Amino acid sequence: MSIASARPTRVRYIMLGLVVLVYFITYLDRVLLSNALPSIQKEYGFPIETMGLVLGCYQIAYALFQIPGGWFGDRVGPRIALASVVVWWSVFTFLTGIASSLPMLMVCLFLIGMGEAGAFPISNRALSRWMLPGERGIAQGTTHAGSRLASAMTPVLVATMIGMYSWHMPFFVFALVGIVWAGVWFWYYRDVPREHAGVNAGERHKIVGALGAAAKKRQPIPWKLILRSRQMWILATMYFCYGYGINMFLAWYPKYLSADRGYSLAEMGFFASLTLAAAVVGDVCGGLFSDMIIHRTGRIKFARQSVAITGFIIGAIFIPLGCWTRDPYMTAAMFGIGVFGLELVVGNAWAVTLDIGGSFAGSCSAVMNTFGNIGGALVATATGFIVKYYGWNEAFYVVAGLSVVGAVLFTQIDAGRKLAPDTTGPVM
């Protein structure tokens, strides 16, 4: 049997599964912080403004270390880099559970954010030498669906453990989960398919045929080319629009349901969970639809653009409709469809960094994600002022307006044009 005719193994899907798990674990820890802080605040007795500063320690580090994290992944390879950052933040997650003072708590949260900042860019780099161009959309959609699923599950898990034990327990448990994952990753993952004993000739031929041969030596990261690229800045600005929009729902939507709609605690939890469920569906569908278009047409630029632009437009239409409807279920439906639209974007955005970044996908995705987190930080701060001086509807109108801007920006993104030359073959 020839190499070309050998039935390919599917080791790359196991690699994808491991990356989905690390996205899930990242959000377990990330959402743990906000859900455990009320109990921590009660024990320490610090005021609400100090609680904001504590959360800020994590958020600032998470934004600051996106690019260093992506650089680290490109420099040493995702096998070592991803295992290292997961062990790093797991150790400090454990130490957070035994924090005996407010300064120690703040330092630990800063160091957790520093480690978790590298998770997504390095994971993206990890998939760049494994997933075929026609599989990248669903791969990115699935990984982000894992993070949204963790966001929905973590509040229940944390509340249960705190109720049975104390606020310390979830930090210990989630730290152990991270350490176990890092051990499995380092044991199983390889930076390129040819180094993995489980990959047969058929799968290697398939990957090399689509992506080209990987460089034998690690190449210097072409930061000048990346940062001078007009397309990179358009991609980053587009992701700012997305980051602002989705974080409106992650950070403020429950408060909106309580303050503006007068929902009870139980109603607030139920309808907020429905919104996150719509996000999971959008993540999967965005990648699936994009890859289907590639398989049918072979037009990678059209595939990424058509799905992402449609998603932004859906968000721009249905988010204001959610503001205008008063029936609780119709409101949930309108906002849910809007969030579904926003999440059609995310898998395609990260797939583009794989398409155009090649061996430098970690650094490219880190630049993009830095802007997304700046958008998230801005919406967390600005929304309070917008609501105070204008109202809740106006806060959501900003999200709708940025969705229109994001759609326009995506028309200028060409997933078939690489940002920087490397030794991999051209994308489809």
- Tens of pLDDT, residues 312-330: 999 999 999 999 998 889 9
Q: What does the alpha-carbon distance between residue 410 and residue 264 come to, in Å, rounded to a whole number? A: 39
Q: What does the alpha-carbon distance between residue 65 and residue 402 come to, in Å, rounded to a whole number? A: 25
Domain 222-421, CATH homologous superfamily name and number: MFS general substrate transporter like domains (1.20.1250.20)
pLDDT, one tens digit per residue, over 229-276 is 888 899 999 999 999 998 888 777 877 887 788 877 667 667 777 777
Please state whether the predicted TM-score (pTM) of the whole model is above 0.85: no
pLDDT recorded at residue 11: 86
CATH class (in words) of the domain with range 1-218: mainly alpha
Whether 192 has a pLDDT exceeding 80, the answer reads: yes
pLDDT recorded at residue 387: 84
The DSSP letter of residue 255 is H
pLDDT recorded at residue 359: 66
3-state secondary structure of 116: helix
Summarize the confidence of residues 214-224 as an average pLDDT.
62
Whether 49 has a pLDDT exceeding 70, the answer reads: no
Which position has the higher pLDDT, 187 or 136? 187
Which position has the higher pLDDT, 124 or 218? 124
231 Cβ neighbours under 8 A, 6+ residues apart: 356, 412, 413, 414, 417, 419
pLDDT category at 221 given cuts 50, 70, 90 is low
pLDDT recorded at residue 420: 56
Whether 285 has a pLDDT exceeding 90, the answer reads: no
Summarize the confidence of residues 32-60 as an average pLDDT.
71
Residue 170 and residue 158 in contact, taking contact as beta carbons nearer than 8 Å = yes
Q: What does the alpha-carbon distance between residue 207 and residue 333 come to, in Å, rounded to a whole number? A: 41
Residue 222 and residue 420 in contact, taking contact as beta carbons nearer than 8 Å = yes
pLDDT, one tens digit per residue, over 384-422 is 788 888 889 999 999 999 999 999 999 999 877 777 554
pLDDT recorded at residue 212: 65
Residue 280 and residue 149 in contact, taking contact as beta carbons nearer than 8 Å = yes
pLDDT recorded at residue 216: 47
pLDDT recorded at residue 427: 40
pLDDT recorded at residue 18: 92
Whether 181 has a pLDDT exceeding 90, the answer reads: yes
Instruction: Name the most confidently modeled range: 33-42, 61-70, 168-177, 242-251.
Output: 168-177
Q: What letters, b where the CB count within 10 A reaches 16 and e where it falls short, cover 386-411?
A: bbeeeebeebbbbbbbbbebbbebbe
pLDDT recorded at residue 60: 79
Sign of the alpha-carbon dihedral angle for 340, 342, 346, 348 = positive
Alpha carbon distance, N-terminus to C-terminus of the chain: 27
Instruction: Name the most confidently modeled range: 61-65, 237-241, 350-354, 411-415.
Output: 237-241
Q: Where in the chain is the domain with CATH 1.20.1250.20?
A: 1-218, 222-421
Which position has the higher pLDDT, 53 or 132? 132
pLDDT recorded at residue 425: 43
pLDDT, one tens digit per residue, over 111-123 is 998 999 888 889 8
pLDDT recorded at residue 234: 93
Question: 40-49, 207-216, 319-328, 339-348: which range is least confident on average?
Answer: 207-216
pLDDT category at 178 given cuts 50, 70, 90 is very high
Whether 424 has a pLDDT exceeding 50, the answer reads: no
Residue 319 and residue 152 in contact, taking contact as beta carbons nearer than 8 Å = no
275 Cβ neighbours under 8 A, 6+ residues apart: 249, 253, 332, 335, 336, 339
Whether 134 has a pLDDT exceeding 80, the answer reads: no
Which position has the higher pLDDT, 103 or 363? 103
Which position has the higher pLDDT, 339 or 419? 339
- The fraction of the chain above a pLDDT of 70, given in percent, is 88
